[in-house]
Amino acid sequence: MRTGLRAVIPTTVFAATVLAAGLSACGEPEGPETPVPAKTQKLGSADADRFVEQISSEMKKHAPVDNAAYWAAATYITDDTQLLASKATERSLGWLSEKLEAAKAYNDVEMSAQTGRSIKLLKLLTSMPAPSDAGKREELAKIAAKMEANYGAGKWCHEGATGNQECLSLQQIEKIIDDPEASPQARADAWAGWHETARPIRKDYQRFVELVNEGAREQGFADAGELWRSGYDMSPTEFEAQTERLWSQVEPLYDQLHCYVRAELHEQYPDEVPADGLIPSHLLGNMWAQQWSNIYPEVQPYPGVGDLDVSSALQKRRNEAYKKRLGEFNGQPTPEDLAEIGHQADADSSVAMTKIAEDFYTSLGMPELPESFWKKSLLTQPRDRDVVCHASAWDVDMEGDVRIKMCIEPDEEQLYTIHHELGHIYYYLAYNDLPPLFQTGAHDGFHEAIGDTITLSLTPQHMKTIGLIDQVSEDEHAVINSQMKLALDKIVFLPWGKLVDQWRWKVFSGEIAPEDYNRGWWELRERYQGVAPPMARGEQDFDPGAKYHIPGNTPYTRYFLAFILQFQFQRALCEASDFDGPLYACDIYGNKEVGKKFEEMLSLGASQPWQDALEKLTGTREMDASAIIEYFEPLMNYLKEQNEGRECGWET
């Protein structure tokens, strides 16, 4: 996967564990606290308005302080910064508990629609509901900080090729997993090495579940999973039915793709990949087998048709930046000098790639990124410290201090991730004038879909226009190649995007007991993805914790919804642009009228139910995956032809 992409979180990496859908956490107010009305006090609409206004004031006042702590914890991983982040979370949870208690006094008060929606969103604000007991809140905050730090500092230490001990970070391990040239055993070893880093937090996660469930029950929910499913302007039961309906629309396409890929890999790895059954996850070009685009060269339908190697062009530009920096150096560089020159070239490349993404948004009439974005963002892996490289977008003060954090590499996957992250940034900027409780997506899937919608316009023709490929073939074989490459990203992600929270919801409800965490995880992965681990796994392992969003406590169904919505958004934007052609060829770059229509939806934030926002852009009030089926129609026809006579599907 683009690790940062879904990576990709509406506000902060850490604050998202505190407040759902990108709202910033707040510490204890320095001024007057929001008063809890006396039980005998008769309240009216004006009181409710004042309550919401005070909430807004406190959120805006304290967001920059707490988010500074979270930023430091993610970009300078030390015991000190983890302590600061933990204390900020503890204060935030205490603040939120007070406000939720105060909000109960307004349950039966008549009030304006805006105030009523504000109080409803307050009650659904947190993805980490904390118990009212102060000691338990402190414990929860410490566990959250510890799990996040464990992920960010995780290393696989083993005997390297030279016989010396070497310790590899996730980014370095992923290069082994992602490399089709690496042997199956090397990839299996790397897979096991990273997944072992999650073992230390298994007991922490079990206690975390106990604490957030207690907090959720205090708010009137059955468990934390029910709270998460309540944030979609419909009942939790209705929401589950919606996700099942959407999955049923796209499952046939995934099944055909799985069948084709398994057959292709079986030819290359007959001893590792069966002709039928589950595909070993470590051979799918991604640590979590959540996107398979890295194995595109191995399963390419028509080898050599159409130049889709964007990564080589980006790497060439990075090398040119290195040569330029080296040429500017005075004297004979030492090894340390060369390392620093390389780091500077990486920084130059990262900025240049981010500028490519910014240019797409400004071509739609959106503003240039503020100067502070370029000064404060972390775009390159520092040489001197550990950071959480998982990409994320931040709105630090809810007033325009926007930035991203990711360790950019010069490859196509990262270029897509940057476009995705800037989708968050431009959403923040579009709704920054709204009250804080409305400063989030119409629902959390909207936030993740914005940047991904933009990436659908990164067609081969677009890549040629911006100079990243030399030519575009109009041959129908080139179309199939292009669609296969994108499907290995977009279609493959869908079952993964659904199952991560399926696991958590079952954990929160107790359907998956602590002694079955790993078994329950792999049962879902087999059922939805049709993949298996590279070696036997047991309950001493905690494989879910090897994915950022589990220790980071970031709800994941948002990404599943985003992968549906982005095609629905793209179809609506292409229709608005009067594009005449197949949906897969549409590029909205440079169309300011379309950009205006897009931005009008973004500016609504969460001020209206998501159905209203969706209708404003698409003309319909229902999420619908039919645009995906339309987009990939040529590929689906090809897959059916190729799979004729094969035994598709798998048994769990």
DSSP string, 372-416: HHHHH-B-S--SSS----S-EEEESSSSS-EEEE----SSHHHHH
Decide if 420 is catalytic.
yes
Looking at the chain, the whole-number percentage of residues with pLDDT higher than 90 is: 83
Confidence band for 123, pLDDT divided at 50, 70 and 90? confident
pLDDT value of position 562: 95
Least confident of 13-27, 105-119, 319-333, 514-528: 13-27
**Residue 258 falls in the annotated catalytic set:** no
Catalytic residue among 449, 517, 549, 562: 549
31 vs 279, which has greater pLDDT? 279
CA-nearest of 485, 496, 498, 500 to 455 is 485
62 catalytically annotated: no
Q: Find the catalytic residue in 62, 420, 443, 447.
A: 420
The mean per-residue pLDDT over the stretch 548-561 comes to 95
Residue 138 has a pLDDT of 92
pLDDT in tens, 153-188: 999 999 877 778 899 999 899 999 999 889 999 999
pLDDT above 60: residue 206? yes
pLDDT of residue 339: 94
559 is annotated as an active-site residue: yes
- Given this model, what pLDDT does residue 386 score? 87
Say what the pLDDT of residue 38 is. 52
| The overall pTM is greater than 0.95 | no
What pLDDT, on a 0 to 100 scale, did the predictor assign at position 343?
A: 95
Active-site annotation holds for 391: yes
Q: Look at residue 40 in the predicted model and tell me its pLDDT.
A: 53
In the set 58, 214, 413, 421, the catalytic residue is 421
Question: Given the structure tokens 């030492």, which residue do they identify?
Answer: 334
Catalytic residue among 258, 282, 419, 424: 424
Q: Do 486 and 494 meet the contact criterion of CB atoms below 8 Å apart?
A: no
How confident is the model over 499-535, as pLDDT tens digits? 999 999 999 999 999 999 999 999 999 999 999 999 9
Tokens of 377: 């963002």
Per-residue pLDDT tens over the stretch 22-54: 333 333 223 334 455 555 568 999 999 999 999
Going from the C-alpha of 105 to that of each of 37, 120, 451, the distances in angstroms are 7, 13, 40
Is 145 a residue of the active site? Answer: no
Q: How far apart are CA 334 and CA 88, in angstroms?
A: 43
Q: Is 421 known to be catalytic? A: yes
pLDDT for 37 equals 54
Q: How much is the pLDDT for 472?
A: 83
33 is catalytic: no
- What mean pLDDT is predicted for residues 547-566? 95
Residue 540 contacts residue 516 (beta carbons within 8 Å): no
Lowest mean pLDDT among 28-42, 329-343, 427-441, 589-603: 28-42
Name the average pLDDT for the chain.
91
- The pLDDT score that the predictor gives to residue 163 is 77
Per-residue buried b or exposed e for 579-598, using 16+ beta carbons within 10 Å of the residue's own CB: beeebbbbbbbbbeebbebb
pLDDT-derived band at 346 (thresholds 50, 70, 90) equals: very high
Give the model's pLDDT for residue 269. Answer: 96
Catalytic residue among 58, 90, 174, 448: 448
Calculate mean pLDDT across residues 339-361.
96
Is it the case that residue 19 has pLDDT exceeding 50?
A: no
* pLDDT tens by residue, 72-100: 999 999 999 989 998 998 898 889 889 98
Query: Average pLDDT, stretch 399-427?
Result: 95
